[in-house]
């Protein structure tokens, strides 16, 4: 009997020892679930940034995972699984949504383009004088790139990366972006290709102009397709005669080089003139100094207008002509004593200030053209 009682006591102690922790664990588990259910669900992220092809894990805390529904606002930008695994598809911004117990929680996600290598499309270039090319800093926005030239006398570059070769030499073109510099070494060779000094020109009648065939060392044969409009001498001296068009050709080493010449029928160059000024207070007007209203009149009988009327030698420039001088058109309204040959005088008016200006203005030597309307 003593053995049986002892055995019974040991058995009961063991049952108590092992049954108590199991009961406590169950109670804790119940309490933990109840506590979790009472807390408000929250996303582990409300905003995020990822690169194309990268992914992040979203989770809704304090919620039963099997009862969460996941979706995105733009499937072309984001993809998402029903476990909250979000992947970036292409650059842009979209939202990932988690719906739970009729409530929706969202995370704003920005997908950035994969970082690409920044590099110049050329790190060296060889050009001829007069050539150009465009330098590009690949994968960098042009508006954020600054271009500079180490020697603007040799080559220039504009803000878009266009490089112009000016003269023989070597220059470094630098593109700066985000604090870094990218260099291109540019070597410029002299232009040895024969070329005419101009390829198209517009002229008045009675103009003489020298045309050159650059980079030529031998004999050049010059011709004009229309000698009635303009002639060309054996040395390349152009002489315009009448309104129309002609083509000037220079033949050299078996090749032909041409330029177009347009001669206006409405402008006639009358040569280079000395241009001075005058006012009515100093110079006598040849035909009636004033009209009945005491207004100054010129030799044509027309009223003289300050800075618009000029005095001329009628044997050189006919009275009444419209004359283009130094980028302005005047009317030949007057003659004054002593003004002979290739001289003109601009009328400044009849005021004291006009007199002061007329006596202090220096003469100008420039070409004059008669303009026909």
User: What are the tens digits of pLDDT across the range 23-35?
Assistant: 444 444 444 444 4
pLDDT score, position 359: 79
17 domain-assigned: no
26 domain-assigned: no
Q: Based on the domain organization, do 106 and 174 belong to the same domain?
A: no
Q: Out of 112, 131, 149, pick the residue that ends a domain.
A: 112
Alpha-carbon span 311 to 275, nearest angstrom: 10
Q: Out of 189, 208, 231, pick the residue that ends a domain.
A: 189
The answer to whether the CB of 334 falls within 8 A of the CB of 320 is no
User: What are the tens digits of pLDDT across the range 286-304?
Assistant: 444 777 787 888 888 899 9
Task: Look up residue 255 and give its two tokens.
Answer: 């090749």
Total count of domains within the chain? 4
Q: Based on the domain organization, do 242 and 153 belong to the same domain?
A: no
Q: Based on the domain organization, do 259 and 278 belong to the same domain?
A: no
85 domain-assigned: yes
pLDDT score, position 30: 42
Task: Look up residue 60 and give its two tokens.
Answer: 């809704």
Alpha-carbon span 11 to 99, nearest angstrom: 53
Alpha-carbon span 63 to 40, nearest angstrom: 8
Tell me the average pLDDT across 316-341. 93
Q: What is the mean pLDDT of the chain?
A: 87
- Domain containing residue 180: 119-189
Q: Based on the domain organization, do 103 and 128 belong to the same domain?
A: no
The answer to whether the CB of 163 falls within 8 A of the CB of 133 is yes
The answer to whether the CB of 347 falls within 8 A of the CB of 309 is yes
pLDDT score, position 373: 62
Nearest to 140 by CA among 90, 173, 181, 171: 181
Q: Based on the domain organization, do 278 and 350 belong to the same domain?
A: yes
154 domain-assigned: yes
Alpha carbon of residue 84 to chain centroid: 48
Element (H, E) at 4: helix 2-38
pLDDT score, position 115: 67
CB atoms within 10 A of CB 121: 13
Q: What percent of the chain has pLDDT over 70?
A: 87
Q: Based on the domain organization, do 366 and 276 belong to the same domain?
A: yes
Q: Based on the domain organization, do 259 and 273 belong to the same domain?
A: no
11 domain-assigned: no
221 domain-assigned: yes
pLDDT score, position 160: 94
73 domain-assigned: yes
The CATH number linked to 105 is 2.60.40.1080
pLDDT score, position 125: 96
pLDDT score, position 287: 41
Alpha-carbon span 372 to 268, nearest angstrom: 8
Tell me the average pLDDT across 312-320. 95
pLDDT score, position 357: 84
Alpha-carbon span 194 to 209, nearest angstrom: 19
pLDDT bucket at 36, cuts 50 / 70 / 90? very low
Task: Look up residue 343 and give its two tokens.
Answer: 């001289």
Q: Based on the domain organization, do 303 and 367 belong to the same domain?
A: yes
Tell me the average pLDDT across 120-134. 94
Element (H, E) at 156: strand 155-157
Q: Out of 80, 112, 144, pick the residue that ends a domain.
A: 112
Tell me the average pLDDT across 49-64. 91
Tell me the average pLDDT across 227-248. 96
pLDDT score, position 281: 62
69 domain-assigned: yes
pLDDT bucket at 351, cuts 50 / 70 / 90? confident
pLDDT bucket at 285, cuts 50 / 70 / 90? very low
Q: Based on the domain organization, do 81 and 98 belong to the same domain?
A: yes
Alpha-carbon span 5 to 170, nearest angstrom: 112
pLDDT score, position 355: 80
Q: Say which range, 12-16, 236-240, 276-280, 318-322, has the weakest mean pLDDT.
A: 12-16
pLDDT bucket at 7, cuts 50 / 70 / 90? very low
pLDDT bucket at 46, cuts 50 / 70 / 90? very high
Torsion sign across C-alpha atoms 63, 65, 71, 77: positive
Nearest to 213 by CA among 235, 233, 230, 231: 235
User: What are the tens digits of pLDDT across the range 78-117?
Assistant: 999 999 999 999 989 999 999 999 999 999 999 987 767 8
Alpha carbon of residue 74 to chain centroid: 37
Alpha-carbon span 210 to 227, nearest angstrom: 16
Tell me the average pLDDT across 119-134. 94
Alpha-carbon span 143 to 177, nearest angstrom: 10
Q: Based on the domain organization, do 47 and 137 belong to the same domain?
A: no
């Amino acid at each position: 009997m003593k053995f049986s009682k002892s055995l019974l006591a040991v058995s009961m102690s063991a049952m108590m020892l092992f049954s108590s922790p199991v009961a406590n664990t169950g109670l804790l588990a119940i309490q933990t679930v109840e506590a979790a259910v009472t807390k408000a669900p929250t996303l582990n992220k409300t905003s995020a940034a990822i690169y194309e092809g990268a992914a992040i894990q979203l989770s809704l805390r304090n919620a039963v995972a099997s009862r969460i529904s996941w979706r995105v606002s733009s499937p072309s930008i984001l993809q998402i699984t029903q476990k909250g695994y979000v992947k970036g598809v292409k650059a842009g911004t979209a939202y990932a949504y988690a719906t739970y117990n009729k409530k929706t929680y969202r995370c704003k996600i920005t997908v950035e383009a994969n970082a690409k290598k920044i590099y110049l499309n050329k790190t060296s270039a060889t050009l001829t004088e007069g050539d150009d090319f465009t330098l590009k800093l690949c994968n960098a926005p042009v508006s954020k790139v600054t271009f500079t030239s180490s020697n603007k006398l040799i080559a220039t570059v504009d803000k878009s990366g266009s490089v112009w070769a000016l003269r023989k030499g070597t220059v470094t073109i630098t593109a700066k972006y985000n604090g870094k510099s990218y260099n291109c070494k540019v070597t410029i060779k002299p232009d040895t290709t024969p070329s005419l000094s101009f390829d198209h020109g517009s002229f008045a009648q009675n103009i003489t102009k020298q045309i050159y065939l650059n980079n030529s060392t031998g004999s050049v044969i010059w011709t004009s397709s229309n000698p009635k409009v303009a002639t060309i001498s054996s040395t390349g001296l152009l002489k315009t005669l009448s309104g129309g068009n002609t083509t000037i050709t220079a033949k050299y080493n078996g090749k032909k080089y041409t330029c177009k010449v347009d001669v206006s029928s409405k402008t006639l160059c009358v040569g280079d003139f000395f241009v001075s000024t005058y006012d009515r207070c100093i110079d006598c007007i040849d035909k009636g100094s004033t009209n009945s209203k005491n207004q100054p009149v010129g030799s044509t009988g027309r009223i003289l207008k300050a800075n618009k009327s000029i005095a001329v030698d009628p044997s050189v420039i006919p009275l009444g002509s419209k004359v283009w001088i130094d980028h302005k058109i005047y009317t030949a309204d007057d003659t004054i004593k002593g003004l002979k040959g290739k001289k003109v005088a601009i009328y400044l008016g009849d005021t004291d200030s006009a007199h002061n200006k007329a006596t202090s203005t220096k003469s100008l030597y420039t070409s004059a053209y008669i303009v026909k309307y």
